[in-house]
């Protein structure tokens, strides 16, 4: 599946370490993933684990995007709704 499937972006992470942790979470759930780093120049150069200006994309095979978002909890609201 992963060799011929198109890869789709699940989310854009703020740092490489966030992307790596999310990728490991997906791998532990049986979902293959790839990290696509743009220029990956952080405040202290390549390899820096802090924020990067353009973010880091987390990719999975297209058919698994919905499942990956559920595993990562991306469909949950970031803050509780006070009106509810």
**Which of 79, 17, 7, 9 shows the shortest CA–CA distance to 42?**
17
Q: Does the global pTM surpass 0.75? A: no
pLDDT digits (tens, 9 = 90+) for 29-76: 999 999 987 665 555 555 555 666 678 899 999 999 999 999 999 876
Q: What is the pLDDT of residue 82?
A: 52
Task: Answer whether 8's CB lies under 8 Å from 68's CB.
Answer: no
Q: What is the pLDDT of residue 84?
A: 46
Containing H/E element for 80? none
């Amino acid at each position: 599946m992963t060799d011929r499937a198109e890869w789709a972006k699940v989310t854009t992470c703020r740092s490489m370490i966030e992307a790596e942790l999310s990728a490991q979470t997906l791998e532990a759930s049986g979902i293959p993933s790839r990290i696509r780093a743009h220029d990956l120049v952080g405040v202290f150069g390549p390899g820096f684990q802090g924020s990067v200006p353009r973010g880091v994309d987390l990719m999975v095979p297209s058919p698994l995007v919905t499942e990956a978002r559920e595993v990562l909890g991306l469909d949950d609201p970031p803050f509780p709704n006070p009106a509810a």
